[in-house]
């Protein structure tokens, strides 16, 4: 398929690379110049990238970025043609997604929201899980692209329901990791070995995929961004906004958002979101780490 892939960040670059490897004709664009994907053509702007494409696939930072890519001065809007599909793997506002979809559908263009989970490793290995909203016919057409980048697709309903579900998923990730980080900090302060604590967690009912994935990085004190703290903070804010619109109270997430705000002020925004641990450590006067051999 002819694909315009817009956004070559931590996730997008790997996803576009896997599309090329699967034999698709890919044109890429990135807001910051200089990023390229081997085997793909590079475009000067989103409009140029989308010209002649069957599918426009976006993976950018936030709601404003999606709106700019679609409807900005050099956006894809003028390149849209009837029968094209826009797929968005960014994590953005569900309400905005519905609005964007309505705008492009007036041109006969389908809109599928397809945020994903699986972090950097999943993007590189082509094992992402896509959380999808959109009509079944469009999703069926996209299956060869999903197959190149991921291992599973969950259709959650019509357009915007993928984004709504992704926010609910990230809510859980943020809360689970916060509980893990607080438990490690307390255990360390009370003299419990962090590695032994993690081994216990992994053997009991409090085990989770979040802990399985993050614990090795935490014990090595490796906060290289798999999922940057600033982006998780953005998603938490989106979740709280969506909850406010739906008149749903999320008291635990409101508290965690304060942790992210303070961690950002401490300069951790470009680190992995696991770096929220360092704020708890600072307050406790301890450092969680693997015991030296």
What DSSP character marks residue 228?
B
3-state secondary structure 75-95: CHHHHCCCCCEEEECCCCCHH
Q: For residue 113, what are its two tokens?
A: 């929201």
40 neighbors 33 (Cβ within 8 angstroms): no
Is 234 catalytic? The answer is no
Scan for tokens 């708890």, then name that residue.
Answer: 280
In DSSP notation, 101-134 reads HHHHHTTT-EEEE--EESHHHHHHHT-EEEEEES
CA angle 199, 201, 206 (to 5 degrees): 160
Q: Is 135 exposed, middle or buried (0-12, 13-18, 19+ CB in 10 A)?
A: middle
Please identify which of the residues 21, 107, 151, 166 carries the catalytic annotation: 166
The residues carrying an active-site annotation are 166
């Amino acid at each position: 398929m002819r694909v315009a892939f817009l956004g070559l960040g931590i996730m997008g670059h790997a996803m576009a690379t896997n599309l090329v490897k699967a034999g698709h004709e890919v044109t890429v664009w990135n807001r910051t110049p200089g990023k390229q994907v081997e085997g793909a053509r590079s475009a000067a702007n989103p409009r140029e990238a989308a010209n002649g494409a069957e599918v426009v696939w976006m993976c950018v930072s936030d709601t404003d970025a999606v709106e700019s890519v679609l409807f900005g001065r050099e956006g894809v809007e003028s390149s849209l043609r009837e029968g094209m599909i826009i797929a968005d793997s960014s994590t953005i506002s569900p309400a905005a997604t519905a609005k964007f979809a309505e705008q492009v559908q007036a041109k006969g263009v389908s809109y599928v929201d397809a945020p994903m989970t699986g972090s950097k490793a999943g993007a590189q290995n082509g094992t992402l899980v896509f959380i999808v909203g959109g009509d079944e016919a469009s999703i069926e057409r996209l299956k060869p692209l999903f197959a190149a980048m991921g291992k599973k697709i969950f259709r959650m309903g019509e357009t915007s329901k993928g984004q709504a579900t992704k926010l609910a998923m990230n809510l859980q990730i943020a809360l689970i990791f916060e509980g893990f980080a607080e438990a490690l900090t307390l255990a360390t302060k009370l003299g419990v070995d962090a590695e032994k604590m993690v081994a216990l967690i992994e053997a009991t009912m409090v085990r989770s995929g979040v802990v399985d994935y993050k614990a090795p990085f935490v014990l090595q004190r490796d906060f290289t961004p798999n999922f940057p703290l600033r982006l998780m903070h953005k998603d938490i804010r989106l979740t709280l906004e969506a909850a406010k619109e739906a008149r749903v109270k999320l008291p635990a997430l409101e508290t965690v958002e304060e942790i992210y705000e303070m961690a950002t002020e401490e300069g951790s925004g470009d680190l992995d979101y696991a770096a929220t641990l360092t704020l708890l450590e600072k307050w406790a006067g301890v450092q969680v780490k693997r015991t030296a051999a």
